């Protein structure tokens, strides 16, 4: 029998977060290569060619050189099983990133050595802080011109209110950058050996004296609590510093943590299997029009063929073909443990935020829908494809690509997004995967709020505002307004109703 505790202790489930262009995608490639998950890093083949990475599989990602969906990749390294969740860097996909961060135990924060802390990085860090997720920092692009290293560390410390402790230190800068010195293990990790008289070695010695005098030593308890970040330096492009980062994740990266439910905490080493669906991805293989629900195993052991309870519906079903993902490849998961991320093929049964258990009737919390910031009506170019459009919009909304709202007055559907790039993705996927061509028209609405209250009062409000009422994917009523001022007027005029900006998926609403 498999030793459950030993297997769980080997798991390292982490996300990579960064501002766009900090080098996150290249670092992901190099980590996968170092872990043996891919043989050839694939970010840039030749000058002028667009980025084509192994983790960025969607056409629009390859065309634009950005990540717009979360990729999930599993590999073994240093005696540990790594589940790497590569999140979208673009802020228009912040909701997908937030959901992904509900499924990880730690995060690697990638910072451009020349640019330092950027706005997107700060926002993602704050999400990690809300969940007390331990952060490991990787300062990238040390082979290029960079800011002063001590200034960078001070910026991380001051702007993120986070203690910093260097785990490695760069030897040389920009074109003179040849590797790092491993402070934790007191050894050089360099492309070439340098004499003690080399200016870079002399500079290193002086800087390490300052580090020891001015910065705190690594403290595991402070790191686990999310208060201190070990800092690694390197160049993902030149594959410098990547192995040190992986070694650190194996050595002191947190193993699976307890997860909150509505009623209690679920510990990873509990015997009963529980899992949270945090992501849906359709058409990863266009030839088979598949639909994969990504589940974070939260406790126990998931085995192929086992019967599980789908808490939202109360129904049971068997896990016939759970899958692990290795970049673009996948294989059947015969067995998975707490911390692992598995893909579950399904035909629309599973939704984001769903809980799977062996028996217990519990629901995991913390998976949100935010009120969208942009609302657009969908304009269908070919009226004969109306039925196909309805199906496509429903499937893509279940996947979390957009939020879908159906007006109660029978008007054309409205989609809600955080940023305009989501509309580009929706348009491209409707055309490429469903053969449906659409455009978008502006609406008189700019704000959306879920509404709840006593049934009679709620029905009265809905009846008086029919043109501004839509139903979301779950059939919950949503009130749309043209401005913050008008929304506030409606809130003030209806104190007996609640207007919610956040909806906990599958659970309820928050003010």
Token duo for residue 159: 């702007």
Q: Is 25 annotated as a binding residue?
A: yes
Give the pLDDT confidence score for residue 15 in this predicted structure. Answer: 94
**pLDDT higher than threshold 60 for residue 56:** no
Q: Is 347 annotated as a binding residue?
A: no
Question: For 333-481, where are the E strands, in sequence order?
Answer: 335-337, 341-345, 355-357, 368-370, 374-380, 403-407, 414-417, 438-442, 447-452, 469-471, 477-481
For residues 13 and 26, give the distance between their C-alpha atoms in angstroms, rounded to a whole number.
19
**229 membership: H or E segment, kind and range:** strand 228-233
Q: Is 18 annotated as a binding residue?
A: yes
Residue 49, Cβ density class (10 Å: 0-12 exposed, 13-18 middle, ≥19 buried): exposed
Q: Is 19 annotated as a binding residue?
A: yes
Q: What is the pLDDT of residues 396-418, one digit of tens each?
A: 998 888 999 999 988 999 999 98
Q: What is the pLDDT of residues 286-313, one digit of tens each?
A: 666 678 999 999 999 999 999 999 999 9
Q: Is 265 annotated as a binding residue?
A: no
**pLDDT higher than threshold 70 for residue 466:** yes
Pairing of strands 106-112, 11-18: parallel
> Nearest Cα to 446, choosing from 374, 364, 367, 363?
374
Q: Is 143 annotated as a binding residue?
A: yes
The SS3 assignment for 460 reads helix
Q: Please enumerate in sequence order all residues whose Cβ is within 8 A of that of 491, keeping only pairs 6 or more positions apart, or say none.
A: 499
Q: What is the pLDDT of residues 310-366, one digit of tens each?
A: 999 999 999 999 999 876 678 899 999 999 999 999 988 899 999 999 999 999 988
Tell me if 294 sits within 8 A of 326, measured CB to CB. no
Q: What is the pLDDT of residues 60-80, one digit of tens each?
A: 555 655 454 557 889 999 999
**139 membership: H or E segment, kind and range:** strand 135-140
Average pLDDT, the chain: 89
Q: Is 142 annotated as a binding residue?
A: yes
What sign does the CA torsion over 30, 35, 36, 37 have?
A: negative
Tell me if 283 sits within 8 A of 391, measured CB to CB. no
In the chain, what are the domain boundaries?
4-67+106-254, 260-357, 368-510
Return the DSSP state at 379. E
User: Mean pLDDT over residues 366-388, rounded?
Assistant: 91
Q: Is 21 annotated as a binding residue?
A: yes
Write the CA distances from 7 to 253, 335, 342, integer angstroms. 15, 11, 16
Residue 485, Cβ density class (10 Å: 0-12 exposed, 13-18 middle, ≥19 buried): exposed
- Count Cα neighbours of 90 within 13 Å in the Cβ-side half-sphere: 15
Give the pLDDT confidence score for residue 503 in this predicted structure. Answer: 86
Tell me if 183 sits within 8 A of 166, measured CB to CB. yes
For residues 41 and 53, give the distance between their C-alpha atoms in angstroms, rounded to a whole number.
8
For residues 324 and 340, give the distance between their C-alpha atoms in angstroms, rounded to a whole number.
9
Tokens 């667009």 correspond to 50
Q: How far is CA 487 from the centre of its chain?
A: 31
Q: DSSP for 67-95?
A: --S-EEEEEEETTEEEEEEE---SGGGHH
For residues 456 and 435, give the distance between their C-alpha atoms in angstroms, rounded to a whole number.
43
Q: Is 24 annotated as a binding residue?
A: yes
Q: Is 453 annotated as a binding residue?
A: no
Q: Is 256 annotated as a binding residue?
A: no
260-357 has the same fold as 4-67+106-254:
yes
Q: Is 254 annotated as a binding residue?
A: no
Q: Is 432 annotated as a binding residue?
A: no
Give the pLDDT confidence score for residue 47 in this predicted structure. Answer: 36
Q: What is the pLDDT of residues 79-95, one digit of tens each?
A: 999 999 987 766 666 77
For residues 422 and 82, give the distance between their C-alpha atoms in angstroms, rounded to a whole number.
29
Architecture of domain 260-357: 3-Layer(aba) Sandwich (3.40)
Q: Is 86 annotated as a binding residue?
A: yes
User: In CATH, what class is 4-67+106-254?
Assistant: alpha beta
Q: Is 88 annotated as a binding residue?
A: yes
User: Mean pLDDT over residues 359-386, rounded?
Assistant: 92
Lowest mean per-residue pLDDT among 28-42, 59-73, 246-260, 485-499: 59-73
Instruction: For 368, list phi and psi in degrees, rounded to 5.
Output: -105, 155
Alpha helices in 131-233 (DSSP H): 149-160, 199-214, 220-224
The SS3 assignment for 309 reads strand
User: In CATH, what class is 368-510?
Assistant: alpha beta
Cα radius of gyration rounded to whole Å, the chain: 24
> Nearest Cα to 291, choosing from 399, 446, 442?
399
Nearest 10 degrees: Cα torsion 245, 247, 250, 253 = -40
Alpha helices in 181-237 (DSSP H): 199-214, 220-224
Q: What is the pLDDT of residues 121-172, one digit of tens each?
A: 888 888 888 888 999 999 999 999 999 999 999 999 999 999 999 999 999 9
Q: DSSP for 46-72?
A: STTPPP--SS--SHHHHHHT---S-EE
For residues 150 and 157, give the distance between their C-alpha atoms in angstroms, rounded to a whole number.
10
Q: Please enumerate in sequence order all residues whose Cβ is within 8 A of that of 312, keeping only pairs 6 or more positions apart, or say none.
A: 351, 354, 355, 363, 506
For residues 206 and 199, give the distance between their C-alpha atoms in angstroms, rounded to a whole number.
11
Per cent of the chain over pLDDT 90 is 71
């Amino acid at each position: 029998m498999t030793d459950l505790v030993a297997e769980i202790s080997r798991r390292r489930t982490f996300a990579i977060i960064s501002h766009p262009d900090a080098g996150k995608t290249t670092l992901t490639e190099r980590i996968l290569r170092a872990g043996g998950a891919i043989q050839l890093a694939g970010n840039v083949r030749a000058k002028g060619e667009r980025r084509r990475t192994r983790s960025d599989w969607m056409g629009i990602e390859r065309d634009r050189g950005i990540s717009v969906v979360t990729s999930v990749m599993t590999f073994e390294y240093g005696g540990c099983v790594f589940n790497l969740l590569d999140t979208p860097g673009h802020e228009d996909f912040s909701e997908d990133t937030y959901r992904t961060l509900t499924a990880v135990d730690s995060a690697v924060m990638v910072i451009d050595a020349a640019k330092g802390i950027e706005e997107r990085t700060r926002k993602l860090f704050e999400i990690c802080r809300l969940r007390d997720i331990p952060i490991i920092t990787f300062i990238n692009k040390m082979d290029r011109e960079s800011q002063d290293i001590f200034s960078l560390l001070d910026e991380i410390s001051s702007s993120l209110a986070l203690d910093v402790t260097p785990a490695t230190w760069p030897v040389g800068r920009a074109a003179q950058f040849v590797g790092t010195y491993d402070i934790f293990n007191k050894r050089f990790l360099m492309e070439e050996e340098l004499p003690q008289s080399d200016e870079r070695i002399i500079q290193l010695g002086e800087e390490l004296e300052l580090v020891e005098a001015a910065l705190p030593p690594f403290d595991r308890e402070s790191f686990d609590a999310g208060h201190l970040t070990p800092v690694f330096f390197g160049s993902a492009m030149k594959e410098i510093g990547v192995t040190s980062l992986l070694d650190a994740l194996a050595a002191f990266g947190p193993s699976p943590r307890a997860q909150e439910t509505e009623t209690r905490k679920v510990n990873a080493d509990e015997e009963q299997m529980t899992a949270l669906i945090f992501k849906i991805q359709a058409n990863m293989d266009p030839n088979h029009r598949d639909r994969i629900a990504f589940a974070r195993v939260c406790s126990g052991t998931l085995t192929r063929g086992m019967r599980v309870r789908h808490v939202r519906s109360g129904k049971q079903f068997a896990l016939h073909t759970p899958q692990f993902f290795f970049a673009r490849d996948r294989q059947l998961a015969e067995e998975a443990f707490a911390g692992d991320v598995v893909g579950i093929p399904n035909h629309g049964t599973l939704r984001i935020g769903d809980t799977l258990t062996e028996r217990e009737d519990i629901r995991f919390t913390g998976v949100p829908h935010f009120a969208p910031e942009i609302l657009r009506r969908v304009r269908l170019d070919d009226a004969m494809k109306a039925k196909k459009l309805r199906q496509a919009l429903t499937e893509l909304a279940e996947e979390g690509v957009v939020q879908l709202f159906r007006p109660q007055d029978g008007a054309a559907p409205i989609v809600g997004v955080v940023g305009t790039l989501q509309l580009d993705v929706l348009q491209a996927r409707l055309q490429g995967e469903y053969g449906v061509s659409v455009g978008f028209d502006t609406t008189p609405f700019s704000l959306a709020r879920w509404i709840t209250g006593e049934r009679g009062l709620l029905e009265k409000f809905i009846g008086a505002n029919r043109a501004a009422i839509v139903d979301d994917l779950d059939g919950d009523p949503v009130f749309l307004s043209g401005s913050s001022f008008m929304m506030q007027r409606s809130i003030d005029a209806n104190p007996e109703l609640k207007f919610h900006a956040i909806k906990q998926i599958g659970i309820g609403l928050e003010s």
